[in-house]
Structure 1
Amino acid sequence: MLMPIPAGELRRLLEEDRRREAAHRRLRWQRRRRQLAWWLAAAAAAAAILFIGAHLAYAANTPNEELADRLRQLEARIEELEEDRQRLTRALLTFEVPAALGFAGEAVPLDRWDVRERLEREVLLSLQQRGQVILWLKRAARYFPYIEKTLRRTDLPDDLKYVAVIESALQPQALSSASALGIWQFIPATARRYGLRVTTRWDERRDPELASRAALAYLADLYGQFGQWSLALAAYNGGESRVKSAMRKQRVRSYFQLALPRETERYVFRAYAAKLILADPERYGFHVPGEELYRPPARDRVQVRVRHHLTVMGIAEGAGSFYREVKLLNPAITGDALPAGTFLINLPEGAGKHFKVREQASGVASSAAQRHRVRRGDTLSAIARQYRVRLEDLRRWNPAVSGRAIRPGDVLVIRRMQQ
């Protein structure tokens, strides 16, 4: 008669069996790895023998003079490669201040020790961000051509294009904490002063071409005030009144002698660093093949007159395109529709000839506006999300509370666009 095996003993036997099986699997795997390593080593040895044999056979059949000439060529090429490697290593690990540097036709006083150190700092910090520099190079192929064209037309220094690089890294939708927007980082007041339209639905600060014309006009005016491009750039960053005040109090007329806020002191040298790197990227170990650069998209530019309300989807359908493409081609469109007015818009290449669009005349705000009574815990952001409207529209519809915090009992107007 068989005696039952106690449960504890049965578990122990099963566990031992599992351990033995796992050990066998490990041994089989190690055996296979050894076999694979042996075969790889054998294959490598065979390849080496074949290579040496072929080389000896070639050498035996090649005249000594020809072989010697080939060896000399190889040695010379190896020396060139070693020089290139050392040069690139130096460029990546250190930075040699150039003997002379000019920007916008003005000499940078590199004989001053503090000027050399400030320049070196900005170049080295830029080189640390290799990914960012590569994006600078790629985007420059898209935005520099018409910036350069505007500079030539207005007879301004070509170096001013590097200001857009340090302002926004050439990103049309870059937005700062001070509400500066676009590749030239205009604040609304300055943008309007130089002819850019800035509204809740159409913001020309985000249009690289229009913003470039305005920014270069502003820089030209600053140069007219200060007479030096270094001071003009400092004023572009820190404000005209601040730079004038510092010059008056410190009794100096050179940017390089001025004590200014840290950001403005670094700003001009960041422009110098951008020029040094982008004007000769290979010196610093950067090479972007031409086919990988970001080119300006092929497009048609058309003028549209909107009487009531034209949606982005309406533009896309009229152009045979799609919503995302229309928004990318027209960064100045900030929302989902254009209000009444005249606008220059971009369409995919070839779409301009047959572009027809039916605008939505009913896109005017409904006269039957909703009202919301503020309750404890409400915020404008939460109310905007609740009614699916934009926060800036909610503030515009309710000017009485746009400059203060809302309070329980306030009544807010909510307007909807009829579709």
Structure 2
Amino acid sequence: MLKKYHYFLIGILIGGLLIYSIEKLRSDTGKPNLATAAIVSNQQPNNQSIKGYPLPETMTFAGESVPLDRIDVRERLDREIQVNAFWHSNSILLIKRAQRWLPLLDSILVANDIPRDFKYLAVAESGLDQVVSPAKAVGFWQIMKGTAGDMGLIVNKQVDQRYDPVRSTEAAVKYLKQAYEKFGNWTIVAASYNMGMSGAASVIDNQRASSYYDMVMSEEPSRYVFRILALKIMLENPANFGFDIDQSYLPEALTNVIVDTNVSSWNDFAEEYGTNYYQLKRHNPWIRTYEMSVKPGQKFEVKIPVKK
């Protein structure tokens, strides 16, 4: 009984000291520190609210209408908009990288009669970063090694053109053209980039589906096109999502040097053009070692930074 009374008194004493500490800190600084803020905040109502981002009333992908009059389509798009737009750190980086890379990808797509919206597919695939997936897909367009060879890219120990934004985009163009010849629908072409042409064809045949929006698929391909749509909406109108980006990653001044003979040392090559290996690799990530053997008839375009 005595022990319980002692504990009661100790509790009162600790509570009094805590209240005194909070009030003393407020009087000294005008506001509580991080340790006391949590205690105080639990005693005050939260007047802040979090609002979701709105969906567009209408939109298209590659000139094809997105059926936003359907509840299921709106909910699937809504999921990807909220997930991507609320991932603020990633969204800011995407907006900054887009200023550097999307005009380049756009120009290659247009020159090859591919709808411009497919540049957002590259954003969905890699975030416009030279990433390598767990399945060993590489670069902006996440191209597998076997597919790279079929699309005319050189991949060996010294060179991997999947890391070249220009060459890899040209390879993606070849795939997109082949897929469109097969399906005749750009939205299904986009889906097939994720699930493969045979996978898309199998779903269409088994389900008698004529539209991507009516195809029953596993989660990744079922979300894939909607992720592209969400990124298109966000990157075309970042201010509508509250993003105010002052300093984007703009294209750098580069000059092209054609290499059609062996390079015994990329270090020596870089020094010859007034730069270093680091800068050479930064602008030519397809260079994988310190030297390069060039077969007869091969030509490589090496980008060199222009001195200010």
TM-score range, shorter chain: 0.7 to 0.9
Counterpart check, 1:161 vs 2:119: yes
Match of 1:126 in 2: 84
Contact preservation (8 Å) 1:174, 1:182 = yes
Match of 1:75 in 2: none
Match of 2:275 in 1: 321
Alpha-carbon offset, residue 216 of structure 1: 2.1
Match of 2:60 in 1: 102
User: What's the RMSD between the two structures over aligned residues?
Assistant: 2.1
Q: TM-score of the superposition, structure 2-length normalised?
A: 0.80
Name the CA distance, whole Å, in 2 between partners of 1:148 and 1:239.
23
Q: Which amino acid aligns with 2:106?
A: E
Tell me which of 247, 256, 259 is aligned to 2:216.
259
Secondary structure at the aligned position of 1:310 is classed as coil
Counterpart check, 1:197 vs 2:197: no
Alpha-carbon offset, residue 210 of structure 1: 1.1
Larger Rg: 1
In the TM superposition, 1:369-388 aligns within 5 A as: none
Counterpart check, 1:340 vs 2:291: no
Secondary structure at the aligned position of 1:288 is classed as coil
In the TM superposition, 1:164-313 aligns within 5 A as: 164-171=122-129, 173-289=130-246, 292-307=247-262, 309-313=263-267
Unmatched segments (≥5 aa) in structure 1: 1-29, 38-88, 352-419
Alpha-carbon offset, residue 142 of structure 1: 1.0
Alpha-carbon offset, residue 267 of structure 1: 0.6
Contact preservation (8 Å) 1:300, 1:350 = no
Name the CA distance, whole Å, in 2 between partners of 1:299 and 1:280.
29
Alpha-carbon offset, residue 336 of structure 1: 2.2
Match of 1:331 in 2: 285
Alpha-carbon offset, residue 151 of structure 1: 2.2
Secondary structure at the aligned position of 1:338 is classed as coil
Contact preservation (8 Å) 1:315, 1:326 = no
Change (3 A) 1:348 1:96: closer
Q: TM-score of the superposition, structure 1-length normalised?
A: 0.60
Using CA pairs under 8 Å that are at least 6 residues apart, name the structure with larger relative contact order, 1 or 2. Answer: 2
Q: Which amino acid aligns with 1:194?
A: M
Show CA shifts across 1:155-189 (max 9, x none).
Answer: 32111110110000001x21011111000111112
Alpha-carbon offset, residue 305 of structure 1: 2.6
Q: Which amino acid aligns with 2:80?
A: E
Show CA shifts across 1:369-412 (max 9, x none).
Answer: xxxxxxxxxxxxxxxxxxxxxxxxxxxxxxxxxxxxxxxxxxxx
Show CA shifts across 1:179-201 (max 9, x none).
Answer: 11000111112221111111111
Name the CA distance, whole Å, in 2 between partners of 1:333 and 1:287.
36
Show CA shifts across 1:307-355 (max 9, x none).
Answer: 3x5222112211121111011011100122222344221112269xxxx
Match of 1:145 in 2: 103
Secondary structure at the aligned position of 2:200 is classed as helix
Secondary structure at the aligned position of 1:346 is classed as strand
Secondary structure at the aligned position of 2:288 is classed as coil
